[in-house]
Chain A
């Protein structure tokens, strides 16, 4: 089945530790995205990548880092510099058809809790 997966589903981190959230897709999509969702809030864009080996900061990139070495994978590292990392993290992908009118396909999310 084609889809987008995230792991782990739940993640606990001690203060001062870096953690990496996994995101993999087999939809052959060029573009991938990371969002953060806090209770009662919409989705805020952390980073996005429209092609392999290239990525751009979103609205709230501080304290996060990403890589895009493979088309299928877009891991997100939450660094110790992120002051309030407890949140629900969502990864998404989309094709880059023209015109750019395509919905995003979301993974199931990772809930990160800082202890």
Chain B
């Protein structure tokens, strides 16, 4: 039978479009959230973080939105470029140093 979890959720976009990657988190007590980018064969890299006392935070070409009511986190990438192609993970922490990672979303950017 098919193995669960071998295929990541995938988002395909055209170069120049805006991308939105979503993440549902599980712990209502989580107070710190991070987005990481992982390119093939490499370790994850920090993109942006947000604390639970905020709803929105912007970086360079990226915006993170936090909706605590429905426990939802999103990462918006403006003017997506081929170099943005990677797997994106969200992580949540609840007052400890140990994050819980989501399964990841694969972003494919077509030139």
- State whether A103 touches B46 (Cβ < 8 A): yes
Please count how many residues in chain A sit with their CB below 8 Å of the partner chain's CB atoms. 29
Among A92, A94, A106, chain B packs the most CB atoms within 10 A around the CB of A106
- State whether A42 touches B101 (Cβ < 8 A): yes
Question: In the complex, A96→B96 CA distance in Å?
Answer: 10
Instruction: Indicate whether A45 sits within 8 Å of B34 (C-beta atoms), given known contacts A101-B49, A106-B43, A109-B42.
Output: no
Closest to A92 in B: B43
Q: Does chain B have a CB within 8 A of A100?
A: yes
- State whether A101 touches B101 (Cβ < 8 A): no
Q: Which listed residue, A100, A106, A107, touches B96 by the CB 8 Å rule?
A: A100
Instruction: Indicate whether A101 sits within 8 Å of B51 (C-beta atoms), given known contacts A41-B103, A42-B103, A43-B89.
Output: yes
Range of interface residues on B (Cβ < 8 Å): 20 to 34
> Which segment of B4-12, B14-22, B63-71, B73-81 sits at the interface?
B4-12
- State whether A42 touches B89 (Cβ < 8 A): yes
Instruction: Indicate whether A40 sits within 8 Å of B7 (C-beta atoms), given known contacts A101-B49, A103-B49.
Output: yes
Among B5, B49, B99, B102, chain A packs the most CB atoms within 10 A around the CB of B99
Interface residues of B (CB under 8 A from A): 5-8, 31-32, 34, 36, 41-46, 49, 51, 89, 93, 95-99, 101-104
Q: Closest 3 CB pairs between A and B?
A: A106-B43, A101-B32, A42-B101
Interface residues of A (CB under 8 A from B): 6, 31, 33, 38-43, 45, 48, 50, 58, 90, 92, 94, 96, 99-109, 111
Q: What would be 25 A-B contacts, judged by CB atoms less than 8 Å apart? A: A31-B97, A38-B5, A39-B6, A40-B7, A42-B89, A43-B89, A58-B98, A90-B43, A90-B44, A92-B43, A96-B97, A100-B95, A100-B96, A100-B97, A101-B32, A101-B49, A101-B51, A103-B34, A103-B46, A103-B49, A104-B44, A104-B46, A106-B43, A106-B45, A109-B42
